[in-house]
Amino acid sequence: MTSDIRFWLIHLAAASALAWPAGGRTDGGRDHDHDRARRALEAGEVLPLRVIIERVERRYPGQVLEVELERDGGRWIYEIKTLRSGGALVKLKVDARDGSILATRERAAGDPPGQHAGGH
């Protein structure tokens, strides 16, 4: 799969994850999460997803499976799941403002869920 196609698939997955109303609201979605995320990007509060993915792939090469952007304690965080070539699943928390990796959890291929090899 070419990197452009993969980028758009990841972008679509992230946009889909952000399409749910904030807090599960059903008021017509006047302030959807994706609208908040777009405003944060336009205001320079978050880096574009493409930049984040490029940085993550340099340190954790593999296939990006899922991306979420959410607020945590007043800070935007990208949560990214990557499947590495040996079958390990890596979950990363990335500061959306500067791209720094805040936490990682890795589950080796064959490990039962809940058991993680390394991380911080």
Mean pLDDT of the chain: 76
The answer to whether 119 and 104 have CB atoms below 8 angstroms apart is yes
Could you give the CA distance from residue 61 to residue 54 in angstroms, rounded to a whole number? 10
CA distances to 12, 82, 90, 117 from 113, in Å:
27, 15, 12, 11
What's the topology of domain 3-107?
A: Nuclear Transport Factor 2; Chain: A, (3.10.450)
CA distances to 44, 106, 108, 115 from 112, in Å:
40, 12, 9, 6
Could you report the per-residue pLDDT of 7-21, keeping only the tens digit for each?
Answer: 444 554 554 444 443
Percent of the chain with pLDDT strictly greater than 70: 64
Asked whether residue 3 carries a pLDDT value surpassing 50, the answer given is no
Q: How confident is the model at residue 119 (pLDDT cuts 50, 70, 90)?
A: low
Q: How many CB atoms lie within 10 A of CB 73?
A: 5
Could you report the per-residue pLDDT of 26-42, keeping only the tens digit for each?
Answer: 444 445 677 888 888 99
Higher pLDDT, 3 or 64: 64
Spatial CB neighbours of 14, under 8 Å, sequence gap ≥ 6: 49, 67, 68, 69
- Indicate the length of the chain as a whole number: 120
Residue-range domain boundaries for the chain: 3-107
Beta-ladder partners of 71 = 76
Asked whether residue 45 carries a pLDDT value surpassing 60, the answer given is yes
CA distances to 21, 45, 48, 85, 106 from 69, in Å:
13, 12, 11, 25, 20
